[in-house]
Amino acid sequence: MAAATVQGRAVTQTPTPTPKKKSDLIPRVITAVVAVPLLLWLLLAGPPWAFAILIAAAVVVAAWELVSMVQGGEGRLAQVITCIACLGLAAAIYLTSSPTQAPDGHVVLATASGGILAIFIAHLFSFKEIEKVSLHVGTGALALVYCAVMPTMLALLFRDAGDDGPAWVLMSMAVVWGSDTGAYFAGRAFGKHKLAPRVSPKKTIEGAVGGLLTSVVAVFVFKYTLLPQLELWQVFVVAIPANILGQIGDLCESVIKRAHGVKDSGVIIYGHGGLLDRIDALIFAIPWFYVCQHYLV
Residue type present at position 201? P
H or E stretch at 207: helix 205-223
Cβ(207)–Cβ(187) below 8 Å: yes
Q: Is the pLDDT of residue 280 over 60?
A: yes
Confidence (pLDDT) at 75: 81
Domain map (residue ranges) of the chain:
48-160, 163-297
Dump pLDDT digits (tens) for 112-123.
Answer: 999 999 999 999
Cβ(169)–Cβ(278) below 8 Å: no
- The model's pTM is 0.88
Dump pLDDT digits (tens) for 2-18.
Answer: 555 555 555 555 555 54
Dump pLDDT digits (tens) for 16-59.
Answer: 554 554 545 566 666 666 778 888 888 998 888 999 999 999 99
Nearest to 152 by CA among 46, 63, 268: 63
Q: Is the pLDDT of residue 83 over 80?
A: yes
- 3-state DSSP helix/strand/coil % of the chain, to nearest 5: 70, 5, 20
Give the whole-angstrom CA distance, residue 140 versus residue 210: 35
Cβ(237)–Cβ(216) below 8 Å: no
| φ, ψ at 259 (rounded to 5°) | -65, -30
Q: What is the mean pLDDT of residues 129-156?
A: 95
Q: What is the mean pLDDT of residues 269-280?
A: 81
